[in-house]
Amino acid sequence: MKTFGRWQDWVVGVAGGYTALSPIWTDQGRGSTATLIVFGVLLVLAAAWSLAQPGAVNSEYVHVALGVLLFISPWVFGYAAFGGASWTSWVVGVIAAGLGLWAVPESNKVHQAAVGH
């Protein structure tokens, strides 16, 4: 797999960018603005890492972890009543976790080919 070639990482990066910018157009609650910006930026950075190093399997697990944390954040940070912020967290969380898991086998294959076993 060539660098910057895995579509799953591109989708996670775009979803992270959407999350980081979503406070501009969604209703927000206490704690949601900072949460969405931080998780969005972290997803963009993790996606860039995955794109730059397609054999870095750990980066895919970072997508999964960030996706799960983003999914539960409306309840943890108390903004579940704010529809736009909550739905952004839930949808992007599922996207990040799902695509991270989807990309793990391919990332493992690239990693094994690079190290020769």
In 3D, which of 11, 38, 10, 2 has the Cα closest to residue 113?
A: 2
Q: What is the pLDDT along the chain (117 residues), one digit of tens a residue?
A: 566 678 889 999 999 999 999 999 998 988 899 999 999 999 999 999 988 887 777 888 999 999 999 999 999 999 999 999 999 999 999 999 999 899 887 776 765 666 565
In 3D, which of 75, 13, 7 has the Cα closest to residue 47?
A: 13
Q: Kindly report the number of other CB atoms within 10 A of residue 25's CB atom.
A: 9
Q: What is the pLDDT of residue 115?
A: 59
Q: What is the pLDDT of residue 117?
A: 56
Q: What is the pLDDT of residue 111?
A: 57
Q: What is the pLDDT of residue 104?
A: 80
Q: What is the pLDDT of residue 103?
A: 83
What does the domain layout of the chain look like in residue ranges? 7-115
List of residues 6+ apart from 22 with CB closer than 8 A = 36, 40, 84, 85, 88
